[in-house]
Amino acid sequence: MLAAALSDGAPVSLSVQVRGELASEEVEVLRLSALRGLFSAVIDEPVTFVNAPALAAERGVSAEITKASESPNHRSVVDVRAVGADGSAVNVSGTLYGPQLTQKVVQINGRHFDMRAEGINLIVHYVDQPGALGKIGTLLGAAGVNIHAAQLSEDVEGPRATILLRLDQAVPDDVRSAMVAAVGANKIEVVDLS
C-alpha cells in the first residue's frame, strides 16, 4: 500500500475515506485492503482479508472507513491516511479511470498527480530550480534506469516540488545519494506497486 510505504515508521492508525459514486456501495473491503497492504509491507507472514483485522488488533493499529457522496474532481476517489506513532501523517488518494478502470494515484500529501498506480515508482521531494529535472533524468539514464512516465507537482508554499516517476527497474542506493546532493532532495522514496 502506497500510504504505508511512504510512512516514516509503522502507522498506528489508518483512515480510509470513500468519496463519490463508490460511497453508495458496500466498501468495507477497502478498509480490509488498506490493512492488508499495510501489513504485507512490514511482516513476513501471509496477510489476507481474513487475518488483517486480527493483525491490526494485535499491533494496536486502528482502522476506520468513512463515506462522503461528494467528490469534486473524480467520479469516485479513495483517500487513505496513515498516521505514525509520532503523529506524522501520509495522505494518498487514488481513483479508477476510463472504461478499463485504470488505477491512478491522484494525490500524495496534498500534491496532485495523474499517474497509473503500477510498477516501480520513485518519488523525489526536491528544491525546485532550473535544471533539477534534467539532473534527475541524467542520473537515472547514466545508471541505465529508464523513465516510463513522470508527473511533477510543485509546492505552492515554497520553492519545493515533488516528482513521481515510474521506472523500469529499482534505483541503486548510490544514484539516490547522488540525487540528494544534485537537486537538494530532502526525501527520496522507492515504492513497488507491481
Could you give the percent of the chain with pLDDT greater than 70?
99
pLDDT above 80: residue 4: no
- pTM of the predicted protein model: 0.88
The band of 173, judged by pLDDT with boundaries at 50, 70 and 90, is very high
pLDDT of 158: 76
pLDDT of 20: 94
pLDDT of 25: 93
pLDDT of 174: 96
The rounded mean pLDDT for the chain is 92
pLDDT above 80: residue 181: yes
DSSP output for 94-121: EEEETTTTEEEEEEETTEEEEEES-SEE
Domains, the chain, ordered by start: 2-116 (3.30.1330.90), 120-192 (3.30.70.260)
pLDDT of 147: 98
Contacts of 60 (CB under 8 A, 6+ apart): 12
- In this predicted model, what pLDDT tens digit does every residue of 95-141 receive, in sequence order? 999 888 899 999 999 999 999 999 999 999 999 999 999 999 999 99
Sheet holding 89-97, edge to edge: 62-68, 11-20, 76-84, 89-97, 102-108, 111-116
